[in-house]
Amino acid sequence: MAILILKRIGTMALMMLVVSLIVFLLLEIDKESVAVKVLGVFTTEEQRRLWLEANGYFEPLYLRYFSWLAGFVTGDLGESTVFRVPVSEILWPRLANTAILGVLAMLVLIPLSLLLGVFAGMREGSLQDRAISVVSIITTSVPEFASGIFLVAVFVVGLHLLPGTSTMIEGFDLTQLVLPVAVLVIYDFGYVTRMTRASMAEVMMTPYIRTAVLKGLPFRRVIVRHALRNALIAPFTVIMLQINWLLSGVIVVELLFAYKGFGTLLLEAALNGDIFVIEACTMVAVFVAVATQTIADLGYTLLNPRIRFT
């Protein structure tokens, strides 16, 4: 197991390295455009040359890559060309905001969809199964902005219950998070629910569940002890992928509620050609993707004794 973890982490590091190389080559190989992006279009050739010179851009490519990489590893991400402050100063708070949103969404999403999925898959074809399946299909097929606007119309405009924006200008305010979290959950729970349901229904058909039932165990025991563990292996992987989705998938929601998160940061950076912010955001996104994948793999192994002990 320890070897496996080390191996996975090794692969992960390797993947990050490859991605970093790609990002670097894509964005920095053309020195001129970097200079233009950093200094703006209204600069002279001479100014740009001086800037490039000062920042070591005339060194060989591989040296540039290594110092760029070293900067990344040590947390020196460069300076935002738009805000004129170090990238890390804006990146981390924004990331934290998105993390808060994501964690809250997950806290609602995971128990909700696992519970519904298990209830639906437990008795395939029953009324509860069909009801849950229909609801989850409908909610998943409504895009986030639509459900967002709908919720705003009801709870903000109609009932005046909740604030319509989540700018958090006057400090942290939980009520401002209710609607964004709701939109995320509504959009995503159907997917996880259906995956859980499928997995649960499949497990319920297996001979070992038959064995458990014919052993004379109470139905509760059959579900909790025999079915759940095997049925949750597949959804676990799916849930890990949702974390990944949240990071980029929140853009719409953040925009809709003017929430200062990672998604909006990435969007602004892309629109403004804020090159170092783009680089940093990309690397963060890739890191999350690779990390969740690794955790998913390891978790899968842990949950499945057939792989764990061979």
Partner 1 sequence: MENHMTRQPLLEIENLAVSYFTRAGEIPAVADFNLRLDAGEAVGLVGESGCGKTTVAMAIMRYLGGNGRIVDGSIRFQDRDLTTMGKEELRQLRGSAIAMVYQEPMAALNPSMTIGAQLMEVPRFHDGATHAEAYERSRELLADVKLADSARLMAAYPHQLSGGQQQRVVIAMALLSNPKLLLLDEPTTALDVTVEAGIVELIRELAQKYGTGMLYISHNLGLIRDTCDRVCIMYSGRAVEMGSVRQLFEQPRHPYTQGLFHCIALPSTDKLARPLKPIRGQLPLPHQRPPGCSFAPRCDHFAAGTCDTPGLKMHEIGGGHEVRCERWRDIDKDAVTVTAPAEAAQAVGEEVISVNDLSKYYAVRDRSVAAMITRRRVRYVKANESLTFTAREGETVAIVGESGCGKSTFAKVLMGLETATDGAIEFQGKDIANTDVQQRSRKQVSALQMVFQNPFDTLNPSQSVGSQIGRVIRKFDSSTDRSKVRSRVVELLDLVKLPRDFMHRRPRQLSGGQKQRVGIARAFAGNPSAVVADEPVSALDVSVAAAVTALLLDIQRRNRTTLLFISHDLGVVRYLADRVVVMYLGRVMEQGTTEEVFSPPYHPYTEALLSAVPVADTRVRKKRIILEGTLPSPLNPPKGCPFASRCQRKIGDICDTTPPPVLASPSGHAIACHIALAELAEVEPVFTVEQADAAE
Residues 85-124 that bind partner 1 (CB under 8 A): 124
State the CB neighbour count (10 A cutoff) for residue 40: 12
Q: Does 10 bind partner 1 (CB under 8 A)?
A: no
Stretch that binds partner 1, among 20-28, 96-104, 147-155, 214-222 (CB under 8 A): 214-222
**Least distance (Å) between residue 234 CB and partner 1:** 13
Nearest CA to 242 out of 285, 280, 189, 286 is that of 189
Cα–Cα distance for residue pair 51/32, rounded to 1 Å:
11
Cβ-based nearer residue to partner 1, 112 or 213: 213
- Residue 208 as a binder of partner 1 (CB under 8 A): the answer is yes
The reply on whether position 125 binds partner 1 by CB under 8 A is yes
Q: Determine how many CB atoms are found less than 10 A away from the CB of residue 33.
A: 13
User: 5 or 85, CB closer to partner 1?
Assistant: 5
Number of residues that bind partner 1 (CB under 8 A): 25
* DSSP string covering 35-75: HHHHH-SS--HHHHHHHHHHTTTTS-HHHHHHHHHHHHHHT
Q: CA 239, CA 303: separation in Å to the nearest integer?
A: 14
The reply on whether position 216 binds partner 1 by CB under 8 A is yes
Residue whose CB is less far from partner 1, 222 or 256:
222
The answer to the question of residue 198 lying near partner 1 (CB under 8 A) is: no
Out of 3, 54, 159, 174, which residue is the one contacting partner 1 (CB under 8 A)?
3
Within 8 A by CB and 6+ apart from 203, the residues are 121, 209, 227, 230, 231
- Please select the residue that binds partner 1; options are 61, 134, 210, 224, rule is CB under 8 A: 210
| Residue 305 found at the interface with partner 1 (CB under 8 A) | yes
Q: Which is nearer to partner 1, 84 or 220 (CB)?
A: 220
Is the Cβ of residue 39 or residue 213 nearer to partner 1 in the bound state?
A: 213
Helix or strand or coil: residue 86? strand
Near partner 1 in 255-274, by CB under 8 A:
none
Length of the chain: 310
Binding to partner 1 by residue 297, rule CB under 8 A? no
Rounded Cα gap, residues 224 and 246, in angstroms: 30
**Cβ-count burial of 309 within 10 angstroms (0-12 exposed, 13-18 middle, 19+ buried)?**
exposed
Q: Is 230 in the site for partner 1 (CB under 8 A)?
A: yes
Nearer to partner 1, 141 or 211 (CB): 211
In angstroms, the CA 153 to CA 159 distance is: 8
Three-state SS at 302:
helix
SS3 of residue 79 by DSSP: strand
According to the binding rule CB under 8 A, does residue 225 interact with partner 1? yes
The reply to whether 127 sits near partner 1 by the rule CB under 8 A is: no
Q: Which residues bind partner 1 (CB under 8 A)?
A: 3, 124-125, 206-208, 210-218, 221, 225-226, 229-230, 303-306, 309
